[in-house]
Structure 1
């Protein structure tokens, strides 16, 4: 029986889920998604308890909701600290190393988020869902700003859209290049 391992798993999962909510909020604001969508409404209500007070310290910069990125960084740092404490590690890593790790983790999270969003959109296109479905609409709004420029560059392939494949390759290249 390992109660510390179970507690580490539970806390790590809860933090990861909230990080996902905050990243979704950041991306929805970045792409100017429809905030009347029920999924957007859920994300706003779930993230407001943390972001509303944080916005007093970290204001938005145009379309960039910097408060949500700062909250994600703080959660990543907090998660590392909690897992080190629960794991019985001797001490804390240097602050610079922890900050660098957190920034790398944030970049990896954003790239993974985008990768899986494009992948989900491809799968949704195969099953021909209702375009008015709230989930489908959000996925289109999240991925279209990345896929549209690639679609403009690629020549017409007779009705076959290869832009998701190119976007997925670019994301994978960036993940390997930056080692995230």
Structure 2
């Protein structure tokens, strides 16, 4: 089963599940049934947030270059949603990073942090499953 960019370590293969997740009786423990899907859902949420950050950055560029107009109600609603979703995570990073004028590196830093979190979760899931 393939889900785009979701790491394969988060999914149980039939061979690996019987070897790594089996208990003395040859079946799965209750934790194996919960941990695999839990890590998959967390990873998908991180991936979705990754795409929201990219959409927010592209939207801010388009507004800054006057390609799209925020006086359009639909465009304003999308921009406001993306701002409200991404700003709580970007604001602390902006406080730490030096001011580079019109260049905002905080989305890049947040994307790197999210990629690091995905790798950590994949390693934890691989060691538990």
In which range does the TM-score fall when normalised by the shorter chain?
A: 0.5 to 0.7
Note if 1:141 corresponds to 2:84.
yes
* Separation in structure 2 between the aligned mates of residue 98 and residue 127 of structure 1, nearest angstrom: 45
Q: CA RMSD in A?
A: 2.0
- The structure 2 residue matched to 1:169, chosen from 99, 112, 125, is 112
Question: Cα deviation per residue 1:23-72 (whole Å; 9 max; x = unaligned)?
Answer: xxxxxxxxxxxxxxxxxxxxxxxxxxxxxxxxxxxxxxxxxxxxxxxxxx
Higher relative contact order (CA 8 A, sep 6+): 2
- The structure 1 residue matched to 2:30, chosen from 73, 84, 95, is 95
- In our comparison, the structure showing a higher alpha carbon Rg is 2
Note if 1:116 corresponds to 2:51.
yes
Please name the residue that 2:61 is paired with: 126
Aligned length: 89
Give the drift of 1:156: 0.4
* Separation in structure 1 between the aligned mates of residue 121 and residue 53 of structure 2, nearest angstrom: 20
Give the drift of 1:94: 4.7
Q: TM-score, normalised by structure 2?
A: 0.62
Give the drift of 1:107: 1.2
* Separation in structure 2 between the aligned mates of residue 177 and residue 99 of structure 1, nearest angstrom: 18
Q: TM-score, normalised by structure 1?
A: 0.45
Matched position secondary structure for 1:122: helix
Give the drift of 1:101: 1.0
Matched position secondary structure for 2:103: coil
* Separation in structure 2 between the aligned mates of residue 148 and residue 117 of structure 1, nearest angstrom: 15
* Separation in structure 2 between the aligned mates of residue 122 and residue 167 of structure 1, nearest angstrom: 12
Q: Give unpaired runs (5+ residues) of structure 1.
A: 1-91
Trace 1:67-86 onto structure 2 (pairs within 5 A).
none
